[in-house]
Structure 1
Amino acid sequence: MRVLIIEDERPAAARLEKLLLEYSASAIVLDKIDSVKNAINWFHSAVDKPELIFMDIQLADGISFEIFEHVEVPAPVIFTTAFDEYALKAFKVNSIDYLLKPIDEEELADAIDKWKNLVDSKVDEHKALDQISSAMNMLTNKHKSRFIVKVGEHIKSIATGDILYFFSRDKASYCHTREGKNYILDHPLEKLEGMLDPQMFFRINRKYIISHESFTDIISYSNSRLRIVLQGIDDEDVIVSRDRVNDFKVWLDT
């Protein structure tokens, strides 16, 4: 099978390619694409057409559903996503398959087997794409309500409302909960920012996204900036950058 992967997180794309080759040694990954723009360009210029596409919902430069608005996608799609269970119901209702990150080997095999059955039954691909569009409308305005994290060998689901702030450290992203615990996340802050309700969370700088309940003090700082004293962390670098101060004050007042 000829496969196209549209995924902006390199580790996730590499893992998916590895699982595909484990599923079938004859699988061919035509390309790995990291953005809406590059995907549109690829479909315009590609000679080889994929038989199956794996597509992350939220890419670095937008929602992957935008691709369908610009080009005809020539193959069935299996989405990879970090959206919560409520949003995923859109896919089930519309008979569109999905894989919840981190991708499980057995679930991947089941999704591919489902695709094979659809191909064998000669399902109308145009109808399937219409169903994707319908799912898009249900998903694009949905903010993430839970995050799945790993705790050793265990999986834990954390409600977004229980998270005080998100931060990056040593090229990894974490959330800090009301219980005072930190959990590593699969997404960079750039991607997390788009998943969160902007009324609940504000990105103060490149290292922190905070909630209204995350801080104990706000202090005037040099060059018209603000320093935030966060709960559970001793970091002098929690600074609202000067170009974000006005927006931050508006956010505080909402």
Structure 2
Amino acid sequence: MKILIIEDEPHNAQILSEIIVQLKPNSIILETLESVEQAVKYLSNHNNTPDLIFSDIQLADGLSFEIFSKIKIKCPIIFCTAYDQYTLQAFKTNGIEYILKPVKEEDIEAAFIKYDTLKESLKPDNEIVHLLKKTFSEKKNYKTSILVHYKESFIPIAVHKIAFFVVENEILYIQTLDTQRYPVFKTISEIESSIDPSLFFRINRQVLLNKNIIKEIQPYFNRKVIIITDKTITEQLIVSRLKVTEFMNWIEQS
């Protein structure tokens, strides 16, 4: 897959590139462009035809929509932006996903899944716009408790009493604040999408962590960080390198 990135912030472009390569190692990043002018010039050359475009919206010399009004493109666009007011305009272009910054690996992965699904049989543009607008506008009701199997019964565990979720030997477990542990017969991605993202953060592929147990954040090797808690926890709670910036921003949010 040939991918074009349009992003005027080098740090964001680098993070996005790393996530793309990690999720799609066989993909080719054709170029990273920083402005409307550069993108128009690049896409005017018919030899530079991407299969997919990742594009910021607010660029140094204007909005990226100016590019797509000047150049007729056939490939889908995944918009990555810090602003939510351009949703409808994005989907009136070839937009198939609208990701709010800071970019998350899970959001990019979901966007690739959507791209792969639509690639073989795209619906008419107006139907895609309608479906995506409906999906984007739906309000999320997050779970307040999780049912776990205990002895011969099911018992509810209040979400705010969960220290973290952890995958071990392909099984997902809940660890409560009082150090009890229960298996949950769901995937960590299913749990992540059903609980409040302001309370829980997926620090790596194995661990979904409750913000309220964090006492300190310390540097770790290879640009990772490790979390120190005030609970008796044996696991090393390490934030993966690609998630550190997003994690730090999440910590500061209310």
- TM class, shorter-chain normalised? 0.3 to 0.5
* TM-score normalised by L of structure 1: 0.48
